[in-house]
């Protein structure tokens, strides 16, 4: 499980948009994984299982914050989802801050799909399994995420 | 007809069938607008990956490593299976004091292996010898009690699981020798010989009790041997 930490941190930072929040999410994920290890079937991929826990915890926390009013507004999944402060230079993407900002403008469902495929390098099949969605839905979410990012970023 | 954004996106990720990949690649050579979109996406992907990979390359914070190291996954998984398997016929919980008369009364005690000392049920005879000197790797094909896992409990005491004559249990080393912390009948004891490997057939109740008591990880061969050579002190 220790070997998975770097990848989990990367995924969590991308999801939350911050290293600190990401590490909190990783801690939560690892604790839950240890508590629920009987649900993991040996022979299946441990990394996929951990990513799924992280994704679910991220959405749980987000829903909780939304209910308590911490998050002011959820972006509809099918919206272009561009932040008003998004017009930054392409070079910003070379830094975590820039990458996180670009991702932060996406609805969480698009963000997690894009991260698993583009950053973690998973196949559509593996990513769809983790997110528990059909491949067609995954393909569509990634395409919409890319359309949003294309509007956000200058021509490359 | 122009490819959809989904098709272009799947092209970037190499998720199209080979023929379709070739078709899109050929099309991009003639369509600068589509090609620019694909290039932009590739730049974005490289930027994101590069930025986040810097984070992945950094050593994780100590607190995360500590949590993840708490227990090796294979062991914790095995313990986590407790409660899902066969129902025990009989088990005696780890109480402050186990009543020897009760154990004898329900036929759990191999003659001579367990006795009472100072009000506590303790290992004696062949079982005490095995707990004192036998390593799990010594179990082999020979007869006699078998040793399972060795570990430290939350009080810092050395504990070892064992399997003897149809019963499984674990004992922790104290001033009186090996206190029997828990003893349970193995569900399929009749089907096996008088002694069998502890661990693989460990009753769920024993697993659960060890999971609750273990501090850190079960010993590997080296740690087990070192603890034995120190007399479990």
Report the residue of chain B nearest A102, measured CA to CA.
B48
- The C-alpha of A62 sits at a distance from chain B's nearest C-alpha, in angstroms, of 21
- Tell me: the pLDDT tens digits for B104-152? 444 455 556 777 676 667 888 889 999 999 988 887 766 788 898 899 9
Q: What is the CATH number of domain A1-72?
A: 1.10.1740
Report the residue of chain B nearest A143, measured CA to CA.
B6
Of the candidates A14, A22, A142, A55, the residue with the CA atom closest to the CA atom of residue B50:
A14
More confident residue, A79 or B98: B98
Give the dihedral of Cα atoms A134, A138, B56, A85; nearest 10 deg: -150
Q: Assess whether pLDDT exceeds 90 at residue B94.
A: no
Looking up tokens 């196949």 gives A123
Domain ranges of chain A: 1-72, 82-156
Exposed, middle or buried, B46 (CB in 10 Å: 0-12/13-18/19+)?
Answer: middle
- The C-alpha of A111 sits at a distance from chain B's nearest C-alpha, in angstroms, of 12
Taking CB atoms and an 8 Å limit, are B56 and A96 in contact across chains?
no
What pLDDT score was predicted for residue B122? 81
What pLDDT score was predicted for residue A43? 63
Q: Assess whether pLDDT exceeds 90 at residue A142.
A: yes
More confident residue, A99 or B71: A99
Q: Is B56 on the interface with A (CB under 8 A)?
A: yes
Taking CB atoms and an 8 Å limit, are A156 and B48 in contact across chains?
no
CA distance B233 to B215: 16
From the list B43, B60, B71, the residue facing A6 with the nearest CB is B60
Q: Assess whether pLDDT exceeds 50 at residue A71.
A: no
Taking CB atoms and an 8 Å limit, are A156 and B39 in contact across chains?
yes
DSSP labels, A38-91: GGSPBTB-HHHHHHHHHHHHHHHHHHHHHHTTSS--PPPTTS----TT----GG
What pLDDT score was predicted for residue B92? 44
What pLDDT score was predicted for residue B110? 53
- The C-alpha of B167 sits at a distance from chain A's nearest C-alpha, in angstroms, of 25
Residue B220: CB partners within 8 Å, gap ≥ 6?
Answer: none
What pLDDT score was predicted for residue B196? 38
Q: Assess whether pLDDT exceeds 70 at residue B86.
A: no
CA distance B38 to A146: 10
Q: Is B8 on the interface with A (CB under 8 A)?
A: yes
CA distance B183 to B209: 10
Q: Assess whether pLDDT exceeds 50 at residue B5.
A: yes
Q: How far is CA B11 from CA A118, A150, B42, B183, in A?
A: 12, 16, 11, 61
More confident residue, A56 or B195: A56
More confident residue, A77 or A6: A6
DSSP H helical ranges for chain B: 5-12, 18-28, 32-57, 62-69, 73-80, 100-105, 125-133, 204-213, 221-229
What pLDDT score was predicted for residue B77? 42
Q: Assess whether pLDDT exceeds 90 at residue A144.
A: yes
Report the residue of chain B nearest A13, measured CA to CA.
B52
- Tell me: the pLDDT tens digits for A127-138? 999 999 999 999
- Tell me: the pLDDT tens digits for B14-41? 999 999 999 999 999 999 999 999 998 8
CA distance B171 to A111: 51
Pick A82-156's CATH classification: 3.30.70.2700, 1.10.10.10, 3.20.20.450, 1.10.260.40: 1.10.10.10
- Tell me: the pLDDT tens digits for B214-233? 888 888 888 999 999 999 98
Taking CB atoms and an 8 Å limit, are A142 and B50 in contact across chains?
no
Taking CB atoms and an 8 Å limit, are B80 and A37 in contact across chains?
yes
What pLDDT score was predicted for residue B109? 52
Tokens of B137: 């790797």
């Amino acid at each position: 499980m220790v070997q998975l930490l770097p990848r989990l941190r990367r995924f969590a930072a991308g999801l939350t948009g911050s290293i600190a929040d990401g590490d909190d999410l990783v801690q939560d994920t690892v604790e839950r994984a240890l508590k629920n290890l009987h649900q993991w079937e040996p022979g299946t991929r441990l990394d996929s299982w951990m990513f799924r826990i992280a994704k679910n915890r991220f959405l749980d926390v987000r829903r909780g914050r939304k209910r308590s009013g911490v998050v002011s507004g959820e972006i509809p999944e099918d919206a272009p989802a561009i932040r008003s402060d998004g017009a930054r230079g392409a070079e910003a993407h070379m830094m975590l801050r820039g990458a996180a900002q670009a991702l932060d403008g996406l609805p969480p469902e698009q963000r997690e799909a894009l991260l698993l495929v583009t950053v973690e390098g998973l196949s559509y099949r593996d990513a769809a399994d983790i997110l528990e969605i059909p491949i067609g839905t995954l393909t569509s979410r990634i395409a919409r995420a890319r359309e949003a990012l294309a509007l956000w970023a200058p021509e490359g | 007809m122009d490819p959809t954004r989904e098709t272009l996106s799947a092209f970037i990720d190499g998720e199209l069938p080979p023929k379709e990949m070739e078709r899109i690649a050929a099309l991009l050579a003639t369509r600068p607008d589509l090609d620019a979109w694909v290039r932009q996406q590739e730049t974005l992907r490289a930027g994101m990956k590069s930025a986040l990979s810097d984070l992945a390359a950094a050593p994780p914070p100590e607190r995360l490593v500590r949590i993840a190291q708490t227990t090796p996954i294979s062991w914790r998984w095995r313990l986590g299976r407790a409660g899902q398997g066969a129902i025990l016929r009989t088990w005696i919980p780890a109480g402050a004091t186990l009543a020897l008369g009760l154990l004898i009364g329900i036929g759990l005690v191999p003659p001579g292996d367990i006795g009472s000392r100072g009000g506590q049920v303790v290992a004696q005879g062949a079982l005490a010898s095995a707990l004192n000197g036998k390593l799990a790797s010594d179990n082999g094909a020979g007869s006699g009690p078998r040793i399972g896992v060795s570990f430290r409990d939350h009080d810092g005491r050395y504990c070892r699981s064992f399997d003897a004559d149809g019963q499984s249990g674990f004992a922790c080393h104290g001033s009186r020798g090996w206190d029997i912390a828990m003893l349970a009948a193995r569900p399929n004891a009749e089907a096996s010989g008088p002694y069998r490997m502890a661990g693989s057939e460990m009753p769920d109740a024993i697993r659960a009790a060890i999971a609750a008591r273990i501090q850190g990880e079960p010993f590997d061969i080296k740690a087990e041997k070192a603890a034995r050579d120190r007399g479990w002190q």
